[in-house]
């Protein structure tokens, strides 16, 4: 897989149009790595001039900030900003809404100002400008797909349409859960919950959310966040429905549909 | 003449006491830390018009929104009639605008009557919903006792208020309808029907007395209500306006940047910095990181707390609360308000530096509550008056983590991993690009 790094590009005297911020989940989590690869396939297929930071990338500091540790967050942010500004990065795309939110909203005050977009927005743009074409009657034709809004993409940053428009491009039937868009229910991973046990209660949040998804009778739960993906996948497994219902990132749906 | 003096006294007393209590609340709110919320005034006016005046966010739940709208509209429009009551009260006149405005007067009073009737229906519906339907969000633990009584008391006061209006207008209509007065009518939409129907058999003297009871009952209730507000969750009818004006206009996902931390981190990363140098600002009073008590929160957090009317939409949409965790965003706001009232009273009684040894975190809000939050912003989204419980939760976490190093053990590990490996998990940073070479 062809994945140029910023260091390699710089050595060749080139500057990519966009930096692909992979994120910790996208780099290390086995399930999320597949999403990362789907994004790269799309970028390569469309000849997008991009690069990754590779080993120079480090956690944005999002989970530290949500957990209340502003020191760790700002240490991470300042180090990343040094690297990003060093490469004179102007535009960043990321497949993780947590990285997206942090880079877009919380880095500017620390000296890191970039145009930051979510991968669904980039893919939408590629399709709209004709750089990526999906065949009619693709693999998802007529399938019921529901979209789970990641909190840090939807409510936090008002991106609701890009992922939905992509799903509609698949010739699939987009079915909404009873709680969707601004009223979408969290998967349970945000605010650093991903890294700890939940407090005592009578249910796990991801089970509550998976029930919403099962109610739609969709055969695919689409999402746009590696953490939501984990939580929904676990939820589906809990109901022993993993053979009937797939949890896929929108990037994976598009890469599949485009036969990449 | 006596009645004019009585009215003037009531007016001065009622407004004076109210101003005194509002000033107390204002002083309490100003105990908070500073935060910048005066930029972009056109966007702020727009937000206030839409969210507070236009009730935009209420309509995500249409039925309660309509009932609430009826009470709200009646409340706003009745203020017009109040002007007349003030003038009548101070001059001893009776329906001073009636002759001057003619048909328009009849229209305005009829409009008020129709809205008042709708408000009465809505109030009864709300009482029934609260006490008979047992809607989950209106019957949670944090509402037991005073909050529930407060809610019922407000609704009952509203019913009394409306009944006074109809008694006043109805008695007037019945009086005018008497044969000795030529069987006439003001033509008010509702009281011209129910007035003669209910009070029809009474003589002129009794009707006049009844009208006076309605008139005085109404104005006394208005002042009682006004002065009840600062002690009640119902204060939202006034505070909703400033609170939405000072809304957070940034994307919801953006948490505040802590500048005090930025300065220290810059020092740490700057190899030429002298760690023992006297800070440029002369090293003024050190602020605590995050919030332990209400005075560590911003004034907007505190304004939020007084604005909350305990409707519980936040809590009913909170993923933690829905799944049985202890966290309730509404309780966070109620606790903040109750603690602030206590701190404010303490300061007034014992002076600025008095400490009662209590704090918001610990005595009111437990660690278990704040660690259950997923920071999903559902509570912020749902609040019809743009209250932000999440920012309080985050500030409480900041205090626990940065001042006390207290957090769930898994989080300690996660933070160590970020610091050592640049990822929340224990992977080597050198392996970050391995995925590119895997199938």
Residue A214 belongs to a domain: yes
For B421-434, write each residue's pLDDT tens digit: 999 999 999 999 99
Same domain? For A140 and A235 the reply is yes
For B83-92, write each residue's pLDDT tens digit: 999 999 999 8
Domain count, chain A: 2
B376 Cβ neighbours under 8 A, 6+ residues apart: A151, A155, A185, A186, A190, A191, B319
* pLDDT value at B284 more than 60: no
Please give the residue range of the domain that contains residue A107: 6-124
> Is A94 in CB contact (< 8 Å) with chain B?
no
Mean pLDDT, all residues of chain B: 93
Chain B residue numbers with beta carbons less than 8 Å from the beta carbon of A105 are 250-251, 253-254
Strands A173-174 and A246-249: unpaired
Residue A219 belongs to a domain: yes
Rounded-to-integer distance, Cα B334 and Cα B310, Å = 8
Same domain? For A53 and A79 the reply is yes
Same domain? For A80 and A168 the reply is no
* pLDDT value at A29 more than 60: yes
Same domain? For A113 and A140 the reply is no
CB atoms within 10 A of CB B148: 17
Same domain? For A68 and A98 the reply is yes
Are the beta carbons of A71 and A83 closer than 8 angstroms? no
Task: Say yes or no for a CB contact (<8 Å) between B257 and A204.
Answer: no
In order, the DSSP letters of A157-197 are: T---HHHHHHHHHTT-EE---SS-GGGPPP-S-TTTGGGSP
Residue A61 belongs to a domain: yes
Are the beta carbons of B424 and B417 closer than 8 angstroms? yes
Task: Say yes or no for a CB contact (<8 Å) between A205 and B430.
Answer: no
**CATH code for the domain of A116:** 3.40.50
Rounded-to-integer distance, Cα A39 and Cα A45, Å = 10
* pLDDT value at B282 more than 70: no
Task: Say yes or no for a CB contact (<8 Å) between A67 and B414.
Answer: yes
Task: Say yes or no for a CB contact (<8 Å) between B429 and A55.
Answer: yes
* pLDDT value at B38 more than 80: yes
Rounded-to-integer distance, Cα B126 and Cα B64, Å = 8
Same domain? For A251 and A229 the reply is yes
Nearest CA in chain B to A149: B376
3-state secondary structure B106-158: HHHHHHHHHHHHHHHHHHHHHHHHHHHHCCHHHCCHHHCCHHHHHHHHHHHHH
pLDDT value of position B263: 87
Rounded-to-integer distance, Cα A153 and Cα A94, Å = 11
Structure tokens at B435: 């995925």
Point out the domain boundary residue: A72, A103, A124: A124
When scoring A53, A61, A70 by the number of chain B Cβ atoms within 10 A, the one with the most, hence best to mutate, is A70
Q: How far is B417 from chain A (nearest CA, A)?
A: 10
pLDDT value of position B71: 95
Count, in order, helices (H) and strands (E) of chain A: 11, 8
Q: Model's pTM, two decimal places?
A: 0.94
Phi, then psi, of B388 in degrees rounded to 5: -120, 85
Residue A1 belongs to a domain: no
Strands A246-249 and A220-223: parallel
pLDDT value of position B279: 60
Distances (CA, A) of B388 to A205, B252, B332: 22, 9, 10
When scoring B265, B287, B315 by the number of chain A Cβ atoms within 10 A, the one with the most, hence best to mutate, is B265
Nearest CA in chain B to A3: B436
pLDDT grade for A138, boundaries at 50, 70 and 90: confident
Residue A103 belongs to a domain: yes
Strands A144-147 and A173-174: parallel
Point out the domain boundary residue: A66, A96, A124: A124
> Is B402 in CB contact (< 8 Å) with chain A?
yes
Task: Say yes or no for a CB contact (<8 Å) between B400 and A70.
Answer: no
Same domain? For A31 and A116 the reply is yes
Distances (CA, A) of A196 to B132, B172, B209, B406, B408: 40, 69, 70, 14, 7
Segment B169-181 mean pLDDT:
91
> Is A91 in CB contact (< 8 Å) with chain B?
no
Residue A113 belongs to a domain: yes
In order, the DSSP letters of B301-345 are: HHHHHHH-----HHHHH-HHHHTT-S--HHHHHHHHHHHHHHHHH
**What's chain B's Rg over C-alpha atoms?**
28
Chain B residue numbers with beta carbons less than 8 Å from the beta carbon of A27 are 423, 427, 431-435
Residues of chain B above pLDDT 90, percent: 85
List all residues of chain B from 410 to 429 with a beta carbon under 8 Å from chain A: 410-411, 413-415, 418-419, 422-425, 427, 429
B36 Cβ neighbours under 8 A, 6+ residues apart: none
Same domain? For A112 and A141 the reply is no
Q: How far is B54 from chain A (nearest CA, A)?
A: 19
pLDDT value of position A135: 79
At the topology level, CATH places domain B288-421 in Fumarate Reductase Iron-sulfur Protein; Chain B, domain 2 (1.10.1060)
Task: Say yes or no for a CB contact (<8 Å) between B378 and A151.
Answer: yes
> Is A200 in CB contact (< 8 Å) with chain B?
yes
Residue A129 belongs to a domain: no
Buried (b) or exposed (e) across A71-89, using 16+ Cβ within 10 A?
bbbbbbbbbbbeebeebeb
Rounded-to-integer distance, Cα A51 and Cα A33, Å = 16
Nearest CA in chain A to B318: A185
Task: Say yes or no for a CB contact (<8 Å) between B418 and A65.
Answer: no
- Enter the DSSP assignment of B274: -
Rounded-to-integer distance, Cα A194 and Cα A231, Å = 9
List all residues of chain B from 305 to 364 with a beta carbon under 8 Å from chain A: 317, 319-320, 322-327
For A38-89, write each residue's pLDDT tens digit: 999 999 999 999 999 999 999 999 999 999 999 999 999 999 999 999 999 9
Nearest CA in chain B to A61: B418
Is the model more confident about B177 or about B389?
B389
Are the beta carbons of B2 and B212 closer than 8 angstroms? no
Point out the domain boundary residue: A124, A147, A167: A124
pLDDT grade for B285, boundaries at 50, 70 and 90: low
- Enter the DSSP assignment of A38: H
Nearest CA in chain B to A101: B253
């Amino acid at each position: 897989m062809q994945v140029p790094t910023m260091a390699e590009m710089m050595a060749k005297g080139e500057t990519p149009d966009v930096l692909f911020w992979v994120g910790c989940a996208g780099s290390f989590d086995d399930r999320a790595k597949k999403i990362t690869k789907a994004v790269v396939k799309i970028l390569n297929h469309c000849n997008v001039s991009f690069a990754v930071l590779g080993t120079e990338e480090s956690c944005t500091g999002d989970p530290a900030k949500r957990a209340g540790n502003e020191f760790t967050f700002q240490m991470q942010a300042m180090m990343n900003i040094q690297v990003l500004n060093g490469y004179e990065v102007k535009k960043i795309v990321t497949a993780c809404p947590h990285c997206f939110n942090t880079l877009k909203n919380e880095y500017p005050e620390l000296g890191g100002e970039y145009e930051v977009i979510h991968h669904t927005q980039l893919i939408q743009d590629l399709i709209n400008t004709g750089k990526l074409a999906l065949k009619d009657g693709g693999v998802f034709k007529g399938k019921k797909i529901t979209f789970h809004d990641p909190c840090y993409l939807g409510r936090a940053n008002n991106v609701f349409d890009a992922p939905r428009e992509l799903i509609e491009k698949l010739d699939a039937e987009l079915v909404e859960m009873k709680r969707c868009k601004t009223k979408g229910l969290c998967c349970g991973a945000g605010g650093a919950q991903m890294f700890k046990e939940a407090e005592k209660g009578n249910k796990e949040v991801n089970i509550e959310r998976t029930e919403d998804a099962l109610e739609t009778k969709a055969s695919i739960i689409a999402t746009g966040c590696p953490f939501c993906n984990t939580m929904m996948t676990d939820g589906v497994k809990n109901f022993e429905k993993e053979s009937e219902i797939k949890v896929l990132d929108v990037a994976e749906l598009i890469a599949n549909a485009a036969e990449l | 003449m006596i009645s004019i003096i009585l009215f003037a006294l009531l007016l001065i007393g009622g407004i004076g006491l109210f101003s005194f209590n509002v000033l107390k609340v204002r002083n309490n709110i100003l105990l908070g830390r500073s935060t910048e919320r005066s930029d972009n005034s056109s966007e702020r006016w727009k937000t206030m018009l839409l969210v507070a005046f236009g009730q935009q966010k209420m309509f995500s739940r249409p039925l309660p929104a309509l009932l609430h709208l009826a009470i709200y509209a009646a409340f706003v429009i009745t203020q017009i009639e109040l002007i007349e009551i003030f003038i009548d009260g101070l001059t001893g006149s009776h329906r001073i605008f009636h002759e001057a405005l003619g048909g328009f007067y009849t229209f305005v009073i009829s409009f008020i009557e129709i809205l008042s009737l709708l408000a009465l229906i809505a109030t009864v519906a709300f009482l029934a919903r609260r006490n008979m339907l047992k809607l989950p969000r209106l019957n949670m633990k944090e509402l037991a006792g005073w909050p529930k009584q407060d809610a019922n008391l407000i609704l009952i006061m509203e019913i009394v208020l409306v009944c006074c209006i109809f008694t006043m207008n109805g008695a007037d209509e019945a009086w005018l309808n008497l044969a000795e007065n030529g069987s006439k009518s003001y033509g008010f939409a509702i009281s011209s029907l129910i007035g003669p129907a209910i009070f029809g058999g009474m003589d002129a003297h009794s009707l006049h007395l009844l009208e006076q009871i309605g008139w005085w009952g109404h104005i006394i209730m208005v002042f009682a209500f006004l002065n009840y507000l600062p002690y009640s969750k119902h204060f939202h009818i006034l505070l909703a306006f400033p609170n939405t004006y000072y809304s957070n206009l940034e994307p919801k996902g953006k948490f505040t940047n802590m500048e005090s931390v930025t300065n220290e981190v810059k020092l740490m990363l700057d190899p030429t910095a002298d760690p023992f140098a006297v800070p440029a600002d002369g090293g003024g009073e050190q602020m605590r990181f995050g919030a332990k008590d209400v005075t560590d929160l911003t004034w907007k957090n505190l304004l939020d707390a007084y604005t909350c009317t305990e409707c519980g939409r936040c809590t009913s949409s909170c993923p933690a609360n829905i799944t049985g965790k202890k966290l309730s965003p509404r309780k966070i706001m109620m606790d903040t308000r109750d603690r602030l009232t206590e701190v404010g009273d303490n300061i007034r009684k014992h002076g600025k530096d008095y400490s009662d040894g209590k704090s918001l975190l610990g005595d009111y809000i437990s660690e278990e509550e704040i660690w259950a939050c997923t920071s999903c912003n559902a509570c912020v989204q749902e609040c019809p008056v743009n209250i932000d419980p999440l920012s309080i939760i985050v500030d409480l976490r900041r205090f626990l983590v940065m001042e006390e190093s207290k957090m769930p053990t898994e989080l300690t590990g996660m933070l160590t991993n970020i610091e050592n490996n640049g990822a929340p998990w224990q992977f080597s940073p050198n392996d970050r690009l391995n995925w590119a070479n895997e199938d």
